Amino acid sequence: MAGAEQQKRGRVLVVDDELGIRQALTGLFEHSGFAVSAAESSASALAVARASELDVVILDLRLGPESGLDLLPELKALHPDVAVIVVTAMATIDTAVDAMRRGADNFITKPIDPPRLLALVEKGLESGALRAGSARLGRLAARAVRDPMSFDSEAMRGVQALADAVAPHATTVLLFGDTGTGKGMLARYLHGRSPRAGRPFVELNCAGLSRELTESELFGHERGAFTGATARKLGLLEAADGGTLFLDEIGEMELAVQAKLLKVLEQWRFRRVGGVVEHDVDVRIIAATHRDLEKDAAEGRFRMDLYYRMNVFAIRLPPLSERRDDVAALARRFLEEQRRGHRLSEEATELLLGYDWPGNVRELRNIMERAAILAPPGGEVTLAHLPPLGPRGAPESTGALGAAERALIESTLRAHDGNLAAAARALGVSRGLLYRRLAKFGIAAGADAGTEG
């Protein structure tokens, strides 16, 4: 049980050339439930670091004739996410700057105050875990954008040209477009094509969040900042430091939070909720909305100053109904993502091309995921694997005209024994279009409707 608790608390390396201090700190951390290693020199510390996983290093500034600061870069190279707390007899500004530049996370002066040291270790564990998780998300995001935008349309060629132009810069980008058009996908594309690609990509969807929750998520909070805040929490701004913060549905953010975000964009500094210390941050902000922010700002629903500060480089993503040339390429890509070797049949492609796609790219992705579940592995996705897709944006035929169209389709199907392909040729339309009309009128196609007669 003790071993499990040690692993739960974390792994600490104490580096000090004084035996008494090593023994005292080892006892302190073991009593507090940590797994502890100790080293008396740079060489022995590196040997431990190469052989073990580490979460926190307690590093004496003076290791006999050696400087502990010289060890810092090597420790960070072996364990990039490890938190290093430097122990020194007297902390000066020059020493602090040098240590922070080399990778130290914090300082404590001698004589060591055990409760303060344990608090710094807990903070180091939290920061290290956040760095590790953020870096992992950043790597995943970078891999996900190798080919994020499958398209053949002229409209999307213009979008990519804008994206490629702004991606290498730290410029704030504002993405406009209907829900489901792929704004999140484009944000990851921008991050993956930027110098920050290896750093974190962190996302916050502002829709439906209260002011308090948005502030806590974005800025973090200090212990005791509000009821239930039993520990310090680092916010997404800190998680995204060095990388990209994507604020989805920013038009839904409450005005009070917008004011704080404006300060970040102007000064690149922020305070945690309930805190008094200002923290510097280096992030690239990408925001997205389906709303008309200029209109919202004029009507007082969005801060005008924040709108102008965000709207440095705007990119509009057209709805899928305006880029039908992209439907087939996207559908094939989404099938490939399922990794089951599916192909898209000609009839299924025709059906997808004729649909209005009110849910845009997201709706297409969901439909292809469904089709991949229904179609046999390695087989072809046919009409049978797709839901009925009527032209939802088109006005319905009513009255005598609708009745005449239905009668024509039914008589043609009867004449060709329910064979959909033959009936479509006789009517001079594609099988996809005929399939949609069957769905609209509630006409059941014959069992052999998907085969040539």
Pull the structure tokens for residue 24: 């005292």
Residues 64 and 183 occupy one common structural domain: no
What integer pLDDT is reported at residue 113 of this predicted model?
86
Q: Which 3 state secondary structure label does DSSP give 341?
A: coil
Residue 142: band (very low, low, confident or very high) from pLDDT cuts 50, 70, 90: very low
302: alpha, beta or left, given left = phi > 0 and alpha = psi -120 to 50? beta
Residues 372 and 405 occupy one common structural domain: no
Look up residue 245 and give its amino acid. L
User: Which residue would you say has higher pLDDT here, 34 or 288?
Assistant: 288
> Is 7 inside any structural domain?
yes
| Diameter of the chain measured on Cα atoms | 99
Tens digits of per-residue pLDDT, 357-399? 989 999 999 999 999 999 998 899 998 898 887 654 443 444 5
Residues 335 and 247 occupy one common structural domain: no
Return mean pLDDT, the chain.
Answer: 83
Q: What is the DSSP string of 376-405?
A: PTTSEE-GGGS-----TTSPPP-HHHHHHH
Which range of 86-95, 145-154, 357-366, 426-435 scores highest in mean pLDDT? It is: 357-366
Residue 66: band (very low, low, confident or very high) from pLDDT cuts 50, 70, 90: confident
How far, in Å, CA of 172 to CA of 265, rounded?
Answer: 9
Residues 294 and 165 occupy one common structural domain: yes
> Is 140 inside any structural domain?
no
Q: What is the DSSP letter of 270?
A: E
Q: Across-strand partners of 12?
A: 36, 56
Burial of 143 (0-12, 13-18, 19+ CB in 10 A): exposed
> Is 210 inside any structural domain?
yes
Query: Is pLDDT above 60 for 229?
Result: yes
Residues 163 and 204 occupy one common structural domain: yes
Domain boundary (361, 385, 409) is at: 385
CATH of the domain at 205: 3.40.50.300
State the residue for tokens 């990039």.
Answer: 80
> Is 447 inside any structural domain?
no
Tens digits of per-residue pLDDT, 105-132? 787 888 888 888 988 888 877 766 655 5
Q: What totals of helices (H) and strands (E) does the chain contain, helices first? A: 19, 18
Pull the structure tokens for residue 383: 């009409």
> Is 433 inside any structural domain?
yes
Residues 286 and 251 occupy one common structural domain: yes
What integer pLDDT is reported at residue 12 of this predicted model?
92
CATH of the domain at 100: 3.40.50.2300
Q: Which 3 state secondary structure label does DSSP give 372?
A: helix
> Is 391 inside any structural domain?
no
Residues 240 and 330 occupy one common structural domain: no
Q: Give percent of the chain with pLDDT exceeding 90.
A: 38
Residues 151 and 121 occupy one common structural domain: no
Domain count, the chain: 4
> Is 394 inside any structural domain?
no
One-letter-per-residue 3-state SS of 196-262:
CCCCCEEEEECCCCCHHHHHHHHHEECCCCCCCCCCCEECHHHHCCCCEEEEECHHHCCHHHHHHHH
Query: Is pLDDT above 50 for 6?
Result: no
Q: Tell me the residue range of the domain where 163 lies.
A: 145-316
Residues 119 and 57 occupy one common structural domain: yes
Query: Is pLDDT above 80 for 439?
Result: no
Domain boundary (82, 101, 134) is at: 134
Residues 56 and 153 occupy one common structural domain: no
Residues 381 and 247 occupy one common structural domain: no
How far, in Å, CA of 345 to CA of 242, rounded?
Answer: 45
Query: Is pLDDT above 90 for 285?
Result: yes
> Is 411 inside any structural domain?
yes
Residue 206: band (very low, low, confident or very high) from pLDDT cuts 50, 70, 90: very high
Q: What is the DSSP string of 342-356?
A: -EE-HHHHHHHHT--
Residue 3: band (very low, low, confident or very high) from pLDDT cuts 50, 70, 90: very low
User: Which residue would you say has higher pLDDT here, 190 or 446?
Assistant: 190
Residues 435 and 336 occupy one common structural domain: no
Which range of 200-209, 281-290, 393-402 scores highest in mean pLDDT? It is: 281-290
Least confidently predicted of 5-14, 159-168, 179-188 = 5-14
User: pTM of the full predicted structure?
Assistant: 0.58
